[in-house]
Amino acid sequence: MPTGSNATTQIIAMGRNVLMHSRCQQAVGQGGFHTAKLISTEDPAIVVRSHTGIRVEGASSFRYVYDCGSRQVGKCRSVVRSFASSVRERRIDILFLSHFDEDHVNGVPHLLDPVDGIKADTVVLPWVDDVERLIAFGRAASRGREVGGFFRSFVVDPVAALDVFGPRRILLVRHGSGEPDDGDVIDLRPDGRDPDGPFGAKVIRDGVRRVAPANPESISGVSAAVYVIFDDMVVDVSAGVGSWVFKPYVRACEQARVANFEREVERLLAWPWGSFPSKISDPAIRHQLVWSKTSTKALAAAYRSAFGDRNLTSLCVYSGPRWDGSPRKLLLFDLTKFDVASKIGWLATGDIPLKDPAEAMDLLAHYKEQEASVATFGLPHHGSVKNYSSAVVATLRPQTCFVSAKPPRNWNHPHPSVMADVANQGAIGIHVDDTEASAFSETFLLVH
Considering 169-183, 229-243, 301-315, 350-364, the range whose residues carry the highest mean pLDDT is 350-364
The mean pLDDT of 307-320, rounded to a whole number, is 89
Asked if residue 264 belongs to a domain, the reply is no
Q: How many domains does the chain have?
A: 1
Asked if residue 116 belongs to a domain, the reply is yes
What average pLDDT does the structure give for the chain?
A: 84
Asked if residue 279 belongs to a domain, the reply is no
Q: Which of 291, 348, 340 is nearest to 319 (CA)?
A: 348
Residue 85, Cβ neighbours under 10 Å: how many? 12
Are the beta carbons of 163 and 230 closer than 8 angstroms? no
Residue 219, Cβ neighbours under 10 Å: how many? 15
Strands (E) in 323-379, as ranges, are 331-334, 339-340, 345-348, 374-378
pLDDT for position 308: 83
pLDDT exceeds cutoff 80 at 349 = yes
Distance CA 420, CA 443 (A): 26
Query: Which strand (E) or helix (H) includes residue 314?
Result: strand 314-322
Q: 105-109, 175-179, 340-344, 423-427: lowest mean pLDDT where?
A: 175-179
The dihedral through the CA atoms of 266, 269, 272, 278 has a sign that is negative
Are the beta carbons of 98 and 316 closer than 8 angstroms? yes
Are the beta carbons of 89 and 61 closer than 8 angstroms? yes
Confidence of residue 244 (pLDDT cuts 50, 70, 90): confident
Q: Which amino acid is at 205?
A: R
Per-residue pLDDT tens digits for 410-442: 788 899 999 999 999 999 999 999 999 999 999
Across the beta sheet with 331-334, the strand order is 225-230, 169-174, 119-126, 91-96, 60-70, 31-41, 18-25, 440-447, 331-334, 339-340
Asked if residue 303 belongs to a domain, the reply is no
φ, ψ for residue 19, nearest 5 deg: -130, 125
CATH assignment at residue 187: 3.60.15
Asked if residue 160 belongs to a domain, the reply is yes
Residue 402, Cβ neighbours under 10 Å: how many? 25
3-state SS string for 76-113: HHHHHHHHHHHCCCCEEEEEECCCCCHHHHCCHHHHCC
Between residues 198 and 157, which one has the greater pLDDT? Answer: 157
**Helices of type H across 200-292:** 255-269, 276-279, 283-291
Per-residue pLDDT tens digits for 151-170: 999 999 999 999 999 999 99
Q: 24-38, 55-69, 284-298, 386-400: lowest mean pLDDT where?
A: 55-69
pLDDT for position 4: 42
Asked if residue 177 belongs to a domain, the reply is yes
Distance CA 346, CA 344 (A): 7
Residues 6+ apart with CB under 8 A from 348: 32, 34, 66, 67, 98, 316, 317, 319, 378
Asked if residue 294 belongs to a domain, the reply is no
Q: Which of 151, 266, 160 is nearest to 219 (CA)?
A: 160
pLDDT for position 2: 40
Q: 3-state class of 48 per DSSP?
A: strand
Asked if residue 300 belongs to a domain, the reply is no
Range of the domain at 31: 10-253+311-447
Q: Which of 346, 425, 354 is nearest to 25 (CA)?
A: 346
pLDDT for position 366: 95
pLDDT for position 104: 95
Per-residue pLDDT tens digits for 16-26: 567 788 999 99
Per-residue pLDDT tens digits for 98-154: 999 999 999 999 999 999 999 999 999 999 999 999 999 999 999 888 999 999 999
φ, ψ for residue 181, nearest 5 deg: -130, 130
Residue 319, Cβ neighbours under 10 Å: how many? 27
Q: What dihedral angle (degrees, nearest 10) is formed by the CA atoms of 216, 206, 64, 70?
A: 90
The per-residue DSSP string of 2-14 comes to --TT-TT-EEEEE
Q: 3-state class of 64 per DSSP?
A: strand
For residue 414, say if its preceding peptide bond is cis, omega within 30 degrees of 0: yes
